[in-house]
Amino acid sequence: MLQNAEQKKCDKCFAYKPPRTHHCRVCRRCILKMDHHCLWINNCVGYWNYKAFFVFVFYATTASIYSTIIFMSCVFQKDWDPIKGSSLKIFYVLYGTMVVGLTITLLTLFGWHVYLILHNMTTIEYYEGNRAKWLAMRSGQSYRHPFNIGAYKNITLVLGPNMLKWLCPTAVSHLKDGVSFPTLRDNS
């Protein structure tokens, strides 16, 4: 069994460390299915709050795209010639730079997490997987992320089985214990 094989002890907590769990140095504790420690929310993103984090990134991205569209349409509709003062122009340039920069950043973050969800990976597992792939390649083997059980199933494990509740951050009744996860071997 893969999950038994991966059972470890945390060196710092001196406690059982379930699969996909990592010790966060900032939070000083083990985090189930740890994704990353987020400086913006001053907390870890892991098993229990990953859906809320993802939905938050989705709404923030949508809002900033909406804001960019409103801004662009405002810029193109405005009759710029009669405006003599440059302060308004500076405001537009500053705001445009900020909103476009924010939109690109959030879109990248959102796209990255869509990729991770589709492959049932955490940010940490992505980098660990790269190393495992490289090591497997050197020994002439192939490596496949064990928790990737198909795109749709991967989505339902994070966002829930009911599609109507996918964008509701508090609909997390599908979360179980964060200790055991279905793997490819369970399905085959």
Q: Which residues bind Zn ion (CB under 5 A)?
A: 10, 12-13, 23-24, 26-27, 30, 37, 44
Dist. CA 9–CA 173, nearest whole Å: 28
As measured in angstroms, the least distance from the Cβ of 24 to Zn ion is: 3
Comparison of 27 and 60: residue with beta carbon closer to Zn ion: 27
> Which residue is listed with tokens 């859906």?
51
Give me the least distance between CB of 31 and Zn ion, in Å please. Answer: 6
Closest CB to Zn ion among residues 31, 158: 31
Structure tokens at 17: 């460390």
30 DSSP β-pair partners? 23
CB 3 within 8 A of CB 183: yes
Using the minimum distance from each CB to Zn ion, give the nearer residue, 61 or 122: 122
| In the complex, minimum distance from the CB of residue 124 to Zn ion, in angstroms, rounded to a whole number | 12
**DSSP category for residue 164:** G
* Annotation marks residue 24 as catalytic: no
Is there a contact between 143 and 132 (Cβ–Cβ < 8 Å)? yes
DSSP 14: -
Q: Which of 38, 44, 74, 168 is an active site residue?
A: 38
Residues catalogued as catalytic: 38
